[in-house]
Amino acid sequence: MSDPIQEIVKRLPDLESVTEVWDTAERRVEQGDIAFVADLGSVSHNVSRGTTVR
């Protein structure tokens, strides 16, 4: 798991808008980094459920 994903997920509860997160995800997909978006979704889901990913 990359550190940028963990930093994004840590900030999610404090964000008023997730537009910046969407923009980052879109740029990464355009660069061919689909795994980034999958990891972001996985970590976000697990954090919302109170579990961790190593």
* Model pTM score: 0.68
Boundaries of domain holding 8: 3-48
CA proximity to 6, closest of 50, 39, 31, 49: 39
What is the average pLDDT across 4-17?
82
Residue 54 placed within a domain: no
- The answer to whether residue 52 scores a pLDDT higher than 90 is no
Evaluate whether residue 26 is within a structural domain. yes
Task: Identify whether 42 is part of a domain.
Answer: yes
Instruction: Tell me whether residue 29 is in a domain.
Output: yes
| Structure confidence at residue 27 (pLDDT) | 93
Residue 7 has pLDDT above 80, yes or no: yes
Q: Is residue 7 in some structural domain?
A: yes
What's the number of domains the chain is made of? 1
Mean pLDDT of the chain: 81
Does a structural domain hold residue 44? yes
